[in-house]
Structure 1
Amino acid sequence: MDSNSIKKYGVEALGTFVLTFFGCGSAAVAGSVLGNLGIAFAFGLSIVAMAFAIGNVSGCHINPAVTFGLFVDKRISLKDLFGYWIAQFIGAIVAALVLMLVINNCADLGGVAATGLGCNGYGEASSTGISMFGAVLVEVILTMVFVLTILGVTADGKTGHFAGLVIGLTLAFVHIMGIPLTGTSVNPARSFGPALVMAFEGNTVALDQVWVFIFAPLVGAALAAVIFGAFKSFYKQEA
């Protein structure tokens, strides 16, 4: 593996760590104070910060669905697809482990069993009781909108200087609707890390359901790439 790849994968792990730690941490530790809007902006602002910190190194995907959408749009190689995925899942798992340690060392929080780790869920694990089918549908739509925005704003160098802000605000935007329904995933790594660590604590509900939050975002990302590809073809024909 060359040094450039090591740098890219390393910062993807770091960026996914930051997104998971601060986003899921805000939901777990301060959700009752921040409310859904505050949690949504915690996720969105994590993207903004990381876009400007690591964007020039890796493109700041920090989300396997985003990486998959870019792969379908033929912007990255198969090698980088898997390299980014491995790094992103590692970053999310480490973030969830560190978040667990923080929560379990706060005497007034009652531990992870009381706060959770910002996991996603459906049925009884959802505040609205959304069905499995509803969760899949919501996650496909939210991810499609999110990844379509990324594909559009990063397609032209003229918009690159404010792409991080647009992407961060879009992530906050999709979280505002998604949090009451599924907790909003749109990111398989962000879902898998907390679900795995909750299973270590004896609660396997999130891990049993996590396949939805891996499958649906990837479908949404692929759909976004197909739609964006159709847009590109249309504009080329018009030109």
Structure 2
Amino acid sequence: MPRLKFVKTGMSDIDEKILANKGLPRPGTIYILGHPGVGKTTFVATYLVNRAKEGEKGVYVSLIENKELFIEHFREFSFYNDLAKFIENNTIYFAGAPPVYGYDSKRILDLFENVGNLINSLNAKNLVIDSINALTLYLKMQQIRTLITRLYYLTIDNDLTIILIGELPLFSTSTYSWSEEFIADIVLLMDYVWIISGVPRLAVRLVPVKSRMFNVAKIPYEVQVDYNNGLKLIHELIEPYVPFAKEVSRGAGYMEER
């Protein structure tokens, strides 16, 4: 088994204050959870570009949008040209643009079989799945569990950092609960919170699932999208607040049988 190490995201605020000046674990699985529009995709795009600048290849699996729309989303960002270049030359390999007639379970399973081959052929060190929720549209629960298990061994066997994006339902007041089969090393919860004055703030905080990696206070930071740095922290949310999601998730409840 590869020795545990940490890699920087390149977003200095995130690395220093949220990730305890360590970075993301490798090998390791990171689960980014939040409502739509809170900056999850901005986080992973910035991370992939910054790691590509360090000579690392990555694979981005999208079950939501095609390559052109993904790149266009970041036109206003300073890393736009780098992102387009890295995707064009496959330093960041974009996989899984939806076919004309949509996905089915066979196409999804074939896609992830190809991802394993891509990781090996490219010698990639970073893998993003966007989003894990979309799997429930095409796969049965047992198929999802099997797929998650494969991703775990893919992480270990190839010394990868894997980021799974999870969507919370809009206007939801509670998060999903974990299935025992789905295990992440850390969870980054990105969500809007209400401070005592009644003003909503976008916040991010780390939920350390495995204490061997992080020992930090779970104090959220106000965060904003920054066109130069991806994401930028403003300050700790010391003022009393109420999260939109009342309970912090350790995974995805759609993994549970109902």
TM-score > 0.5, shorter chain as reference: no
TM-score, normalization: structure 2?
0.23
| More strand, by proportion | 2
| More helix, by proportion | 1
TM-score, normalization: structure 1?
0.24
